[in-house]
Amino acid sequence: MSDHALRTMIGLCTVILVAAALRAADAVFAPIAVALFVIALVRPVQRGIRPRAGAAVAALATMLLALVAVGALAVMSAWAFGRVGQWTIANGAALQALYAQKVALLEDAGVPAEALAGHFDMRFLVRLAQQVTSQLQGVLSFTVVTLVFVILGLLEVDVARRQLEALRGAPGAAALLRAASRTGQKLRTYMAVRTAMSVLTGLAVWAFARAMGLQLAEEWGLIAFVLNYIPFIGPLVATVFPTAFAALQFGTWQVAVTVFAALQVIQFLSGSYIEPRLAGRRLAVSPFLVLAAVFLGAFLWGIIGAFIGVPVLIAILCVCEEFEETRWAARLLSGREADAEAAVAPAARDTVRLGQMP
């Protein structure tokens, strides 16, 4: 076996072992990954406050800012999903009757659906509510652990930077410093663009739901806003839920198809047309790789992994671009044409664009 083939096999085995370790120790690695992501986002605030108030006050103020932002997002999510759950349980009897009616229609049309008749009842709704409550409690615990890591990280980030600067002569130290700086810039750009598009998507979904007479329009808008932070999976869920709700509320498949089609148009315009133009060349990753990162993150760490998958991918590509041995991988996975890559100026060549699914 050649040395190249041997190194390739060792690399693949290493990747598999690392993925298994990340999945087995998700309670440790997932909060650390999210904490590093949050630190990268709020780092400019800390740098701006530190010269005036000192390192400890700057870390505390930055932590409070991150806590307010995360808390507001969590409260909005809990309120929206809680309202939908309360409405579903309160109208459980009517929904069950409508469900049984649709099953009977399928039976009359010759579709064997008797096995579905007992799947939707009040016990199912109670179990669903309990599962949602359990998930919210898990997210709360995860948030507390993550905030602890964020506090400690904010207190030590300057120390780590000075240590790397002191090791500039060591192999890879300068490259790691550049990769960290570029990763922070790209992650802030990613979140700024994603937040802007989440706001626009939420407003569009709310306006459409109000125009259609769909109940809980504000809740559907907030759910679309929150879930839009998770590429691909979030917009899909934000489309399927209101569609199923419309089918139950209006009782006709024509309305459900109309709601589904309209929400798909909204998601397509925001995710595949407007967002790439806002990001431009600053965030450029192959759409296939973005989808793979989302699903791999979900496989490793659940919903948190789906959210953090793309930022982790951006960070990995930034590190790969700084080392000659791995630069080819970053260029291969960037999703850019070779001619376009050569035409980009050196300062702009560092940037990557977040690809969108067509």
Of the candidates 329, 324, 326, 333, the residue with the CA atom closest to the CA atom of residue 353: 333
On whether both 178 and 274 belong to a single domain, the answer is yes
On whether both 110 and 64 belong to a single domain, the answer is yes
Residues in the chain: 358
On whether both 151 and 77 belong to a single domain, the answer is yes
**Residue 15 lies inside a defined structural domain of this protein:** no
Domain encompassing residue 219: 172-358
**Residue 7 lies inside a defined structural domain of this protein:** no
The angle subtended at Cα 92 by Cα 86 and Cα 97, nearest 5°, is 155
Would you write out the chain's pLDDT as a tens digit for each of its 358 residues?
A: 567 677 778 878 888 888 888 888 888 888 999 999 999 998 888 888 888 887 778 878 888 888 888 778 878 877 888 788 777 777 767 666 766 776 666 666 665 555 555 555 556 655 665 666 566 666 777 888 888 888 888 888 888 888 877 776 666 777 888 888 888 889 998 898 889 889 999 999 999 999 988 888 999 999 999 888 888 888 888 888 888 888 777 877 788 889 999 998 988 888 777 776 666 556 667 778 888 888 898 888 888 888 898 899 888 888 888 888 777 777 777 666 554 444 443 433 443 334 333 3
Find out whether 230 and 307 touch, Cβ atoms under 8 Å. Answer: yes
d(CA 338, CA 354): 17
Q: What is the DSSP letter of 337?
A: -
**Residue 5 lies inside a defined structural domain of this protein:** no
On whether both 108 and 242 belong to a single domain, the answer is no
* Cα 125 versus chain centre, distance: 27
- List b or e across 283-300, with b for residues whose CB sees 16 or more CB atoms inside 10 angstroms: bbbbbebbbebbebbbeb
The angle subtended at Cα 202 by Cα 198 and Cα 206, nearest 5°, is 175
On whether both 331 and 229 belong to a single domain, the answer is yes
State the DSSP H helix or E strand holding residue 290, giving kind and residue range, or none if neither: helix 287-321
Catalogue the long-range contacts made by 134-141 (C-beta closer than 8 Å, 24 or more residues apart).
135/303, 136/78, 136/81, 139/74, 139/303, 140/74
**Residue 223 lies inside a defined structural domain of this protein:** yes
Q: Outline where 213-286 has alpha helix (H).
A: 217-227, 233-250, 253-268, 275-279
User: Which residue do the tokens 């291969």 mark?
Assistant: 332
Q: What is the DSSP letter of 286?
A: -
Three-state DSSP state, 284: strand
